[in-house]
Amino acid sequence: MSVISSQPKKIIIIGGGSAGWMAASLIHKAWAKKGTKILLIESDVISKIGVGEGSTPSLRLFFNHLGISEQEWMPQCNATYKCGISFPGWTNTDDPAFADYPAYIHPFYSQADWKTGNAFMHNARLRREGVDVPAHPDNYWLQSYLAKSFKAPIARQQLSDEMDYGYHFDSALVGDFLKKRLLNMGLNHLTDTVDGVELDDSGQISSVITKRNAAQSADLFIDCTGFAARLIRQALNVDFVDYSDCLFNDRAIAIQSPIDCSRDIPSQTTSTALSAGWAWQIPLSNRYGNGYVYSSKYISDEEAEKELRKHIGPSCLGEKARMIKMRLGRLSQHWHKNVLAVGLSQGFIEPLEATALMLIQHTVESFISSYEDMQLSKRDILAQQDIYNSQLNEVFESIKDYIVAHYRLNSRTDSKYWCDNRENKNNSARLKALLSAWSTPGGDFEAELHRHNAELTYFAPSWYCLFSGKGHFPTSLNKPSANTKVAPTTEIIKYCHQVSKQFYNHNEQLEKVYGERLDIL
């Protein structure tokens, strides 16, 4: 396929949901005014997964890029603010080595954390070497204090450094919001089901056959058909790289429960370890989203639902449960021939760190940039696809390693699931090197992060929070010598408490954005 322009003439997106409408939004922004025709075909008989209800800070950049304010989209999607993710229950607090680490928060950090964050990493380095200094991450990051005091990551007065943050939201409503916006902007849309695919002599897709609107042809097709991967796998037979040897979970059960908006709404996701996986709790302005991500090898669906309901409590009585089968892994090629896979069709890493929408956004944005660069560089399309797929696969692998590390670093001994996860040796060379460097006296952990490109998606502070938050330090500790420089944790705690007072209460900030009281919505 030769390069004839810096953007395709016609694009067909198959599938709606978050993936389809986010892809359509970004492509419309980049190419619609340059003459690219965009058609989104959305089935009304295929159900959407739609349980990803948390984000990383990249979603804020997504809406900013589209020129959409928080006042415009958040009330339409029952959205709230997110300062980070809390991880209770991942350690064995009956063991004295982990007694002081029952939970920790993986925060979103900003320039405001530069000094306190460096202090945390300094103390963590000392504790790794057997020096008895405080190194729990929650003491050093401002957003940990905001989350624990039900604050929004929005200051009452402009700070010198703006905070970074994520959101909680109803993912189905995000798709609906973007759909309505694009249809008002004139995007072409068909409600129909793809029954077949036609290939040309070169093996590319020439058209898709719809149930009610016959054949639809295009230069480029975007596969947003979820786990079915209707185009990229069923039609083009692209290989799938399975992650089940290192990530055991293959099921999720989702249950909603009510929220009392007359009380403080949390500004954090909570991911609590249960017997055969972990449970999420995500606060929206109208309800809680709850779920259990687990392995069917260690617990039945019925037992998992029972355990989740017990964990949630009586508030979920009478609420329906939805079970979702998951396939964890990624494609070997996300952009193949004239098809780009986006969302679940390209792969899935369990939602422990809420990376699903970030991957959708990154996939599409980097594709747009790559496609345009292909024209400027005069590079052959196959060479450009190789570069694109290699870089995107490295992003998937980097996220996978960070997620796997959560399980490898657990210290629970109460179930075979947790013991098997901790003992599992099916890890990448990168993760093995990081685990070794952290636990080896004198090991240069940060050098290993750089050497293995481990900071592609998670910077050093996140890796330090992960290892330190789960209490992975020597059991034998010595008092610091007179010459040892120790970061002043007590002063840092006072400082963070004082600064956190400058931020809006979460409910108060939401009511500013919504323009009305939450408890009467």
Residue 347's closest CA among 335, 337, 195, 289?
Answer: 335
Residue 166's closest CA among 71, 255, 63, 68?
Answer: 63
Q: How far apart are CA 62 and CA 60, in angstroms?
A: 5
In sequence order, what are the residues at sequence separation of 6 or more whose Cβ sits closer than 8 angstroms to the Cβ of residue 32?
38, 185, 187
61 annotated to a ligand binding site: no
Is there a contact between 43 and 17 (Cβ–Cβ < 8 Å)? no
Is 82 catalytic? The answer is yes
17 annotated to a ligand binding site: yes
72 annotated to a ligand binding site: no
Beta bridge partners of 290: 255, 281
The sign one gets for the Cα dihedral 474, 478, 482, 483 is negative
The sign one gets for the Cα dihedral 376, 378, 381, 384 is negative
344 annotated to a ligand binding site: yes
Number of CB atoms found within 10 A of residue 514's CB: 17
Is there a contact between 351 and 52 (Cβ–Cβ < 8 Å)? yes
Is there a contact between 23 and 367 (Cβ–Cβ < 8 Å)? no
Which of the 8 DSSP states describes residue 122? Answer: H
293 annotated to a ligand binding site: no
CA dihedral 456→458→461→464, nearest 10 degrees, is -110
Q: What six digits make up the tokens of 304?
A: 């998992």
Q: What six digits make up the tokens of 474?
A: 């020597």
Angle at which helix 17-31 crosses helix 58-66, to 10 degrees, equals 50
Is there a contact between 344 and 259 (Cβ–Cβ < 8 Å)? no
Active-site residue, from 48, 82, 151, 337: 82
82 annotated to a ligand binding site: yes
In sequence order, what are the residues at sequence separation of 6 or more whose Cβ sits closer than 8 angstroms to the Cβ of residue 164?
57, 60, 108, 109, 110, 153
- Give the side-chain half-sphere CA count within 13 A for 59: 27
Task: Name the one residue in this structure whose structure tokens are 């190194």.
Answer: 135
Please give the annotated binding residues, written as ranges. 16-19, 82, 194, 344, 353
Please give the annotated binding residues for FAD, written as ranges. 16-19, 194, 344
For the annotated catalytic residues, the residue numbers are 82
Please give the annotated binding residues for L-tryptophan, written as ranges. 353
Please give the annotated binding residues for 7-chloro-L-tryptophan, written as ranges. 82
